[in-house]
Amino acid sequence: MNFDFSDDQKLLRDQARKFLFDKCDRKSVRTILDDDQLHYHKELWSQISEMGWTGTAIPEEYGGLGLGMLELCVIAEELGRSLAPTPFSSSIYLFAEFIKNYGSEDQKKKFLPLIASGEKIGTFALSETNGTPKPSNVKTEYSSEKINGYKSPVSDGETADYLIIAANSDNKGNRNSLSLYIIDLHQDGVSKTSLETIDPTRPACSIKFENVKAELLGEQGMAWDMTENIFNRAAVLYSFEQVGGAQVSLDEAKKYSMERFAFGRQIGSFQALKHKMADMYVKIELARSNAYYGAWALSTDSNELPVAAAGARVSASDAFNYAAKENIQIHGGVGFTWDYDCHLFYRRSKLLSLNIGSTRQWKENLISNLEKRNIV
């Protein structure tokens, strides 16, 4: 049995950790948090693009490094640890994966090199209303070669050059009416409205489309199936980000509890706090193991992916949400100040657990995929 990352992958992890420790400290995260006009850390983005991280899992023929999904998992964990304020997840886990898996040869040639180099940023949008996205909630339409409609929230929409959306390609209003379209956001008829998010280091906007040009991605009427598959792939990567964030939340809670004295002793010596941190550890280890399994399924194109991805996602959301909120609790009063970093993780944990579908939704996915697997 070899249920672990390789030595090369661990080396990549060490390098990524060291790099982000230097270049993505809390101060740089906060420059994005504090400034409404900044949507991501441009300098960091160009540095990680230069190192090829954006092209990690993109084949060499399309300008990527041609490494595998496991390497991308390794990088995801480090981005999660450092709270990197970049559109990496939107552009790489979603946009690039959609193109890579469903794009025509021409589309791959056109988009992937630009995404791999970090020169252009892509994203994906499904949601138009509050609540769980479902086919009948998609009102955006494609007809006479033009898109009309609205998407919100669109993660990294402000910075994105390209957007993939689901839109109705016929009038039936069901799952098979939906197709995916690629939109160049630099055109007339695209209007963006900024939205404030619970984690401003991961911004979103709403976008209105009026007679906007678009090209079909993949097979007509298959938007929902393709989206489910790409969300499964992305869920594994998100889970690594979440595990990374959860681990740092625990590390910082622990550090503070050993420095802070009350009643004449380190607060970390009180069992009420120790047990909280032990529970964080338990959830994180379960999440890490579930994420590993997701990584295995992702990297081997296993039939297990839908179950493995949902398991990883549910477990990681639970771990990060718990670790982030209890990190504030362990810090006491300073934990809910702007100056201390606890809220950065608290914000990020909730945002990540909502970004490609809520925990509730992923629990439902998990059980329905288990049912399907049992029938097969």
Partner 1 sequence: MDFNDSQQEAAFRKEARDFLEANAEKRSIISDKPNDKSPQIAVAGAPETVKGGKEAAQEALERAKVWQKKKAEAGFAAILWPKEFGGYGGSPIQQVIYSQEEHDYLVPSGYFEIGIGMLGPTMMVWGKDEDKKRYLPKMITGEEIWCQLFSEPSAGSDLAGIKMKAEKDGDEWVLNGQKVWTSGAHFADYGMIVARSDPSALKHKGLTYFYLDMKTPGIEVRPIKQISGTSNFNEVFFNDVRIPDSQRLGGEGEGWKVALTTLMNERLAVGDPPGLDFDQIFEATKELEVEDGLAIKNSEVRQKMADWYVQSRGLQYTKFRSITALSKGQTPGPELSISKLVTASKMQDVSAYALELMDSSGMVHHDQNPVLKNLFQNGYFFSAAMRIAGGTDEVLRNIIAERVLGLPQDERADKKVPFNELPSGKN
Residues that bind partner 1 (CB under 8 A): 1-5, 70, 250, 254, 257-258, 265-266, 268-271, 274-275, 277-279, 281-282, 285-290, 292-293, 295-296, 299-300, 310-311, 314-315, 318, 360, 362-364, 366-368, 370-371
Positive or negative CA dihedral for 124, 128, 134, 136? negative
Nearest to 79 by CA among 100, 55, 48, 52: 48
- Cα distances from 204 to residues 201, 305, 338, in angstroms, run 10, 28, 21
152/289 with CB nearer partner 1: 289
Q: How far is the CB of 44 from partner 1 (least distance, A)?
A: 29
- Nearest residue (CB) to partner 1, 24 versus 314: 314
**Nearer residue to partner 1 within complex by CB, 280 or 342:** 280
- In the complex with partner 1, the residue whose CB is nearer, 95 or 322, is 322
* Minimum separation from the CB atom of position 166 to partner 1 (A): 24
Count Cα neighbours of 73 within 13 Å in the Cβ-side half-sphere.
Answer: 28
Least spacing, CB of residue 202 vs partner 1, in Å: 24
Contacts of 147 (CB under 8 A, 6+ apart): 140, 141, 165, 167, 181, 183, 209, 211, 212, 213, 214
Beta bridge partners of 195: 204
Structure tokens at 355: 């970004």
CB 337 to partner 1: min, Å: 24
Question: Minimum Å distance from CB 219 to partner 1?
Answer: 30
Under the phi-then-psi rule, with left for phi > 0, alpha for psi from -120 to 50, and beta for the rest, what region is 284? alpha
197 or 257: CB nearest partner 1: 257
**Burial of 186 from C-beta contacts in 10 A (0-12 / 13-18 / 19+):** exposed
Closer CB to partner 1, 170 or 251, in the complex: 251
Evaluate whether 142 touches 181 at the Cβ level (below 8 Å): yes
Least distance between partner 1 and beta carbon 375 (Å): 12
Closest separation between CB of residue 189 and partner 1, Å? 40
- Residue 216 or 286: the one with the smaller Cβ distance to partner 1 is 286
Q: How far apart are CA 44 and CA 331, in angstroms?
A: 29
